[in-house]
Structure 1
Amino acid sequence: MTVRRFGVICGAVCALVIGIVSLVVSGVFDRPTSVAIDKFTQLLAASAAMMSYWRAARGRHGVARHWRLWMAAAMASLVVGLAVWIWGQVFLGVALPSSTLAPIGFMLVPALTLCAILVLAHGGPGNLPGHRSRLVVALDGLIVVGSLFVLTWVSLLESIVRAWATSGPGFATVVAHPAAYLVMLVVLLVSSWTHRSVRQLPVLFIALAGLAQSSSGWAFAYLVSKGATTIPTAADIGFMVCPAMFFLSSIAPSSAARERVGSTRLRAGELLHLLVPYLPMLVTGLFIVVGTATGVRLNPLEIYVGLGVVLLVIARQLLTLIDNVKLLEQLRDSREKLRHQAYHDPLTGVPNRALFRERLDAALAGTSPVVVLFIDVDGFKDVNDNYGHAEGDAVLRIVASRLQACVRPQDVVARLGGDEFGVLVDGYPQPPEEIGKRVLGALDEPHRTANGSHVIRASIGISHRDAFDPTLTADDLIGTADAAMYTAKRLGKGMVVVHGTVEAELT
Structure 2
Amino acid sequence: MRQILTGLRRDRLLLALCATTAGLVLWYATAPASRTAQVVTAWVFVAAVHICLIGITRSFTRTPGLPAVARRFWRAVLAGAIVYLIGDLAQIVEAASHPALATAATGGKIQVATLSAGSAWLMITLLTAPLGLTTRRERLRFWLDVATVMVAAVVVGWSLIVPDHPAALLDAAAPVLMGPVVLLLCVFVVVKLTMSGTTLFTRSCALIGTAAAALKSGADGLGPEQLHWFLALTITAHAMLTIAVRITHLQVLHNPSALETRRRRRPYSPLPYGAIVVTYGLLTVAIWRQETATIPIALAGAAISTLLVVLRQLDAFRENALLLSRLHQSLEQRDTLAARLQHQAFHDGLTGLPNRQLYSQRLDAALAADGPVVVMLIDLDDFKPVNDAYGHAAGDALLKVIADRMRACVRETDTVARIGGDEFAVLLSSLPGGDPLEIAARIVREVEAPVPVDGGVAQVGASVGIAFARPDLHDAEALLREADHAMYAVKRDGKGSYAVSPG
TM-score by length of 2: 0.63
Q: Distance in 1 between matches of 2:2 and 2:423?
A: 69
Q: Among 339, 342, 351, which residue is 2:342 paired with?
A: 339
2:309 corresponds in structure 1 to: 309
Contact 2:382 2:461 in 1 (8 A): yes
The code of the aligned residue for 1:233 comes to: A
Q: Residues 293 and 478 from structure 1, CA distance in 2 versus in 1: closer, same or farther, beyond 3 angstroms?
A: farther
1:67 corresponds in structure 2 to: none
The code of the aligned residue for 2:274 comes to: V
Contact 1:446 1:455 in 2 (8 A): yes
The code of the aligned residue for 1:113 comes to: P
2:107 corresponds in structure 1 to: none
1:395 corresponds in structure 2 to: 398
Q: Deviations over 1:440-481 (max 9, x none)?
A: 222212233455432132332222225xx4972333333333
SS at match of 2:479: helix
Q: Distance in 1 between matches of 2:73 and 2:412?
A: 76
Contact 2:208 2:240 in 1 (8 A): no
Q: Which moved more, 1:216-225 or 1:80-89?
A: 216-225
1:463 corresponds in structure 2 to: 467
Q: Deviations over 1:16-64 (max 9, x none)?
A: 579879946982245577656655444444433xx426xxxxxxxxxxx
1:499 corresponds in structure 2 to: 501
Q: Residues 492 and 208 from structure 1, CA distance in 2 versus in 1: closer, same or farther, beyond 3 angstroms?
A: farther
1:480 corresponds in structure 2 to: 482
Q: Distance in 2 between matches of 1:405 and 1:289?
A: 77
Does residue 124 of structure 2 align to residue 111 of structure 1? no
The answer for unaligned runs of 5 or more in structure 2 is 22-44, 90-110, 163-169, 224-230, 288-294
1:433 corresponds in structure 2 to: 437
Q: Distance in 1 between matches of 2:139 and 2:118?
A: 35
Aligned ranges 1:410-421 → 2 under 5 Å:
410-421=413-424
Q: Residues 312 and 359 from structure 1, CA distance in 2 versus in 1: closer, same or farther, beyond 3 angstroms?
A: farther
The Cα shift of 1:423 comes to: 2.0
Q: Residues 294 and 160 from structure 1, CA distance in 2 versus in 1: closer, same or farther, beyond 3 angstroms?
A: closer
The code of the aligned residue for 2:461 comes to: R
Identity %, equivalent residues: 25
Q: Residues 13 and 331 from structure 1, CA distance in 2 versus in 1: closer, same or farther, beyond 3 angstroms?
A: farther
SS at match of 2:376: strand
Q: Distance in 2 between matches of 1:155 and 1:313?
A: 24
The answer for unaligned runs of 5 or more in structure 1 is 1-9, 54-70, 123-133, 189-202, 256-268, 502-507
Q: Distance in 2 between matches of 1:152 and 1:169?
A: 10
Q: Deviations over 1:322-367 (max 9, x none)?
A: 5555554444334323322322223322222222222222212223
2:365 corresponds in structure 1 to: 362
Aligned ranges 1:254-265 → 2 under 5 Å:
none
The Cα shift of 1:426 comes to: 0.6
2:27 corresponds in structure 1 to: none
Q: Distance in 1 between matches of 2:456 and 2:12?
A: 89
Contact 1:143 1:277 in 2 (8 A): no
The Cα shift of 1:12 comes to: 5.6
1:232 corresponds in structure 2 to: 238
1:192 corresponds in structure 2 to: none
Aligned ranges 1:68-467 → 2 under 5 Å:
72=68, 74-89=69-84, 93=88, 95=111, 97-98=114-115, 104=121, 107-108=124-125, 111-114=128-131, 117=132, 121=134, 141=142, 144-145=145-146, 147-149=148-150, 151-156=152-157, 166=174, 171=179, 179=188, 188=196, 205=199, 212=206, 219=213, 231-235=237-241, 239=245, 247-248=256-257, 273=266, 276-277=267-268, 279-280=270-271, 282-284=273-275, 287=278, 298-303=298-303, 305-306=305-306, 309=309, 312-313=312-313, 316=316, 319=321, 324-427=327-430, 429-450=433-454, 452-465=456-469
Q: Deviations over 1:359-413 (max 9, x none)?
A: 2222122233222222223333334444444333333322322222222222222
Q: Deviations over 1:245-284 (max 9, x none)?
A: 79426668x99xxxxxxxxxxxxx9xx74xx437345534
Q: Residues 103 and 362 from structure 1, CA distance in 2 versus in 1: closer, same or farther, beyond 3 angstroms?
A: same
Aligned ranges 1:37-76 → 2 under 5 Å:
40-48=55-63, 51-52=64-65, 72=68, 74-76=69-71
SS at match of 2:474: coil
* Aligned-CA RMSD value: 5.1
The code of the aligned residue for 1:435 comes to: I
Q: Residues 179 and 106 from structure 1, CA distance in 2 versus in 1: closer, same or farther, beyond 3 angstroms?
A: closer
Q: Distance in 2 between matches of 1:433 and 1:460?
A: 10
Q: How many residues are treated as equivalent by the alignment?
A: 421
TM-score by length of 1: 0.63
Q: Distance in 2 between matches of 1:386 and 1:210?
A: 84
1:59 corresponds in structure 2 to: none
Q: Which moved more, 1:324-333 or 1:426-435?
A: 324-333
Q: Distance in 2 between matches of 1:426 and 1:352?
A: 17
Q: Distance in 2 between matches of 1:163 and 1:357?
A: 91
The code of the aligned residue for 2:403 comes to: A
Q: Residues 311 and 101 from structure 1, CA distance in 2 versus in 1: closer, same or farther, beyond 3 angstroms?
A: closer
Contact 2:355 2:417 in 1 (8 A): yes
The code of the aligned residue for 1:306 comes to: T
Q: Distance in 1 between matches of 2:73 and 2:157?
A: 26
Q: Residues 251 and 139 from structure 1, CA distance in 2 versus in 1: closer, same or farther, beyond 3 angstroms?
A: closer
Contact 2:364 2:476 in 1 (8 A): yes
